[in-house]
Amino acid sequence: MTVHFHEEDIPAGLFGPGPIAVDTETMGLNTPRDRLCVVQLSDGGGDEHLVRFAPGSDYAAPNLKALLGDPARLKIYHFGRFDIAAIQHYLGVVAGPVYCTKIASRLVRTYTDRHGLKELVRELLGQDISKQQQSSDWGGPVLSDAQKDYAASDVRYLHALKEELDRRLAREGRTALAQACFDFLPTRAALDLAGWPEIDIFAHA
């Protein structure tokens, strides 16, 4: 496994065809306020690519935008709702179509309330990942090796998780329900950006 580091964009033609695992690191959880700092990518082949954006970036990134906005390429996330909103707000593209391992986990692992990436990777793949750098400063001028490894680990296992979760969704007869949730996720992210992050607009009250 190799972690590749890029500034402001990825090289053209970096990935062949197929699904891409995607994650983001930001300065915080308030998307309009807390800028996008890093986008992580993996095609499942063993290498991860990190794209870092500097303070004041114009987020031009034409190659990255083309990849994320490609309607023929599936993007795999864990809690995609947040990442899709951050990408849409800062890069101006809807990064779909979507598969979210957290949604899939909630639909099939109904025997637990632990749906974080760390727990999911441990149970389904037998691997341990560290979340020590989760709350670190992603906006600094230099990312530490620990930060880079943490960021890479967020996309390293998503293809394998999708395979196992797909088997469980099919077993429980929930594949179509999951797909409907995935299809709605960009709209859910748009609602977050438009000012309805905590309000269930489908609720009666």
pTM of the model: 0.95
| The pLDDT value given to residue 21 | 98
Q: What phi and psi, each to the nearest 5 degrees, are found at residue 36?
A: -75, 125
Domains of the chain: 3-194 (3.30.420.10)
- Band (pLDDT 50/70/90 cuts) for residue 171 is very high
- 112-138 pLDDT tens trace: 999 999 999 999 999 988 766 566 899
| The pLDDT value given to residue 141 | 85
| The pLDDT value given to residue 133 | 57
- 44-75 pLDDT tens trace: 998 999 999 999 999 999 999 999 999 999 99
Q: What is the mean pLDDT of residues 154-164?
A: 96
Q: Residue 110 above 80 pLDDT?
A: yes
